[in-house]
Amino acid sequence: MSNPATGPLRLHAALVHFPVAAWSGAVLLRLSLRLGDAATLWSVDTAAATAVLIWLGLGSAAIAAGAGLVEYSALPADEPLLRHAMQHMRWIGVAVTCFLLLGLDQGGSGPRLPPPVQDLLFALGAVALLAGAHRGGRLVVLRYRTR
C-alpha cells in the first residue's frame, strides 16, 4: 500500500490515537478512584471501566505497532531518524509493559499487586506513553525534513 505522492500509506499515525486515548482514560479513571475513592463514576464501575480501557489500549496498540513496523521498514538509513524511531519504540515498549502488567492484574482470583505498585505502574505507563508519543511526533517532523 503506497501513495506515489507521499510514499507508504501512513496508517500508524491514524491508529496510535486509539491506544493513547484508551490508556489516558484508564489513567484518569485510576486517578479519580485514588483521589475521590469512588468505586463508581456516573454509575459505572470504575475498576471494570479501567480494565476495559487497558485491554482496548493493548489491542489497538498491537494493531498500531504492526502499522508502525511497516513504516519503520520504509525509513531511509538516516541516523537521526533511526535513533528517534528506536527511542520511540523503547518508550512505547515500557508503556505497553506497564499496561500489560496492570491488565493481567485486573480481576480474577489470583494474587493482586498492592495498590502502591499499581499506582506506580499507572504513573510509569503514563510517563512512558507521553515520552513515546513525543518521540513519535519528533520522528514525523524529522521524516518530513529529510524528504
pTM of this prediction?
0.84
Instruction: Provide the 3-class DSSP secondary structure of residue 55.
Output: helix
Write b or e for each residue in 119-137: b if 16 or more Cβ atoms lie within 10 A of its Cβ, otherwise e: eebbebbbebbebbbebbe
Please give the chain's pLDDT, 147 residues, in tens. Answer: 444 335 455 788 889 999 999 999 999 988 887 776 666 666 777 888 899 999 999 999 999 999 988 888 887 787 878 888 899 999 999 999 999 999 999 766 556 888 899 999 999 999 999 999 999 888 877 777 666
Residue 20 pLDDT: 95
pLDDT digits (tens, 9 = 90+) for 43-67: 777 888 899 999 999 999 999 999 9
How many other C-beta atoms are found inside a 10 Å radius of the C-beta of residue 5?
A: 5
Give the model's pLDDT for residue 83: 86
45 vs 60: CA distance, rounded Å = 22
134/125 Cα distance (integer angstroms): 14
Biggest alpha carbon–alpha carbon distance for the chain? 54
d(CA 92, CA 19): 11
Report pLDDT for 75: 77
